[in-house]
A and B are shown apart, each in its own frame.
Chain A
Amino acid sequence: MRIFDPHVHMTSRTTDDYEAMAAAGVRAVVEPSFWLGQPRTSPGSFADYFDALIGWEPFRAGQFGIRHFATIALNPKEANDPRCREVLELVPRYLDKDAVVAVGEIGYDAMTPQEDHAFAAQLALAVEFDLPALVHTPHRDKVRGTQRSLDVVKESGIDPGRVVIDHLNEVTVELVRDTGCWLGFSIYPDTKMSPPRMVELLRRYGTERMLVNSAADWGRSDPLLTLRTGEAMLAAGFGQDEVDRVLWRNPAAFYGQSGRLDLSDTDAPADFAGNSIKRGGA
């Protein structure tokens, strides 16, 4: 089983996780920029974080044969902090980078006017830089938050086929299903979605435009729940091809719209051949 986790915060994970993910078949990941447990207090703190997402973290991933991509944005929660608002001026510089495959995570946390502004401004950046957009949906007041997110997406003029609405569940899936946007589902140990519930949604709504991610981060989460979902699909009677579609071809197609998703050589077994300075070579 080859797995592309389209949403996982590897910065918060250990090398044990990388090792387990590689062993489970994870060959590519997208790490969206988001908030950390600790609020940041200056744009410089964001710059270092963004730099890590396009510098150190891909290097770490590469040591385990995993291709690492990122999405860059000022997240909705911290968009409310006036000390961080200048981050919006930093973002464009990062949107030029090779491994940045979308603008994100953008969207709503508490649906404030400041969030409105950051959300709309960054959707405009997605259009300007010809990149897809990753839209986070809020934990609180989720249905209204999702609806309002879809309205903002529509107003922005971005092609809905280049937008994923993430963290959906049984309650919000139908809001997004007919909008043309992609549907993201985060599989968590307790909250959000579980593998059996995800299988049920795939059975009901099909596999088209469906993205399954672990969204693993610094909280209690599990980067192998993509694999577990694939296994649950097989146990429920889905074929290998449908599993491959959900866990590989769909995320590859969605982020491939950036024109920057280089997945060459990921068909090979996970040995890191791209590093020209590794010892040996003959």
Chain B
Amino acid sequence: MKTIWKTLFVVSLLSASLATAQGNLEVDTPAISAIKSSMSQRHAQLAPLYASGAVGLKSDGSLAVHDANAVPLAQRGKLNALVAAENNDRTALYREIATANGHPEWAGDIRNTFAQRWIDKAPGGWWVEGSRGWARK
């Protein structure tokens, strides 16, 4: 009984914004563009590291050093810096998408959605974190 009431009211209250909410999320703000371009630029450096297994995709939508041994010793500091910078950007991206759509509290859901899609879209050979730990796609 209560559920029905709830549902009814959700529909009526959101109907005004539903048209936009159901269609697309707003992802074309200056902040999101800035983050995207920073991430695209970094991807050129990250791509070989994904392929070699040095970094992998975590199940929480972030990136982690998976096997530092794949990188020469002197470059490992840079590996860390890259991963830290990428994770900073990713966190900012999830937050920005949530705020751009007027729901800062969605950041967690957006992070989870991205986490799944990063892993789904990752090419074969990359390391991803699943429910049973690290695995090679």
Q: Do A and B come from the same complex?
A: no
